[in-house]
Amino acid sequence: MEASEVPVATVTQRSQKSVESQVGRIYESFANFPRTPNFEYYLKGGLDNSQAPSARPWVCFWNLHSLALLGESVDAQLQNNIIYFLSRCQDPNGGYGGGPGQMPHLATTYAAVCSLVTLGGHKALSSINRSEMYMFLQQMKHPSGGFRSLELYLIPYFSPGFMMVEKLMSGPATAISVASILNILDDELVQNVGNYILSCQTYEGGISAEPGTEAHGGYTFCGVATMIMINQVNQLDLPRLIDWLVFQQGKECGFKGRTNKLVDCCYSFWQGGTFALLQRACSTFDTKLVIPVGGKSFEVNFNDIGYNFVKRRVEMEPLFDGLALQLYLLLCSQEVNGGLKDKPGESRDFYHTCYALSGLSNAIMKQGASLQHSDSVMLLSFEVS
């Protein structure tokens, strides 16, 4: 009789075990973890010395948003420098490029507009050319419901941020968000967007970059947020979506972005933030939508939807473990010298710092409590392999 073959672990299985082991050791040493990382120095230094020539509006957004979450602000000189720099990125025909003189791109347009709104004030907000922006968004619109990210490319993807800048992808989420923020969203821009997003919801329940591909946390957040802004969220298969989401929080306590992938701190926002949207959206699940018939306009004011939505009372209890998520972010992702990283063994960066802090803020708000040192009893339930 032949001896039975010894199972060989796959690369993914070995990586998962390695991450679990590192996380387990960190949780065991919880009592000795440093408590005062210098985020402000790290983030403001990035604003002054960005080395990302084609994505600098993103660096502005990530760092300004992170500072805002920490209750920090930038001085008047740095604020003026940022406004001046972004004005040089603005194309005369609308939209913002990744740097001065670069072609306008939906993803960097989103980052620039969000940066200026975060700064606030007349000088920042008046620097945005709203009329040309509307023409730019119309030019990028495609009959399929997608949007061109650049004038020469039709790639109707969602854009959860940095990863999309690399691949020159953009889509409905960035365009609809910018239009909503600037109060220029109308039924022409909305036309067919909902149908496109519905075609991207997968058999798992999450939302993918395009029809027929894998559900992904970033695309899921962008798809759900967009459907809320265009008043069509309850056309999604929400029970199946929630079922997929709840299984993305793993034994490490953090979220992963896709099925059978490793934990990553940025998904504390992309996945956790989707839960936050659904907590407010649940009151609309049984609401009949006003759908255009025969080419008639929507009978809703799109520009009020986003603002009214965030003011809505939360109807649903948290559907993920917020305290466990805080544990992962504070102990496994935080760097002693400021900033946050993907997972143990990786390096900090502004992208992960921004979205990990966003996820942490959401976890604290939704859980109604923050992690205290006495919560170390939670560590006992984590088995180190």
Catalytic residues: 216, 258, 261, 264, 266-267, 342, 349, 352
Q: Report helix, strand or coil for 265.
A: coil
Q: Nearest 10 degrees: CA dihedral of 312, 314, 319, 320?
A: 80
Comparing CA positions, the residue from 341, 205, 348, 228 lying closest to residue 282 is 228
DSSP string, 2-68: PPPPPP---HHHHHHHHHHHHHHHHHHTGGG------HHHHHHHHHHS---TT-HHHHHHHHHHHHH
| Distance in angstroms (rounded) separating the CA atoms of residues 273 and 267 | 9
| Distance in angstroms (rounded) separating the CA atoms of residues 199 and 332 | 36
**Which run of H or E residues covers position 196?**
helix 193-199
| Distance in angstroms (rounded) separating the CA atoms of residues 203 and 241 | 9
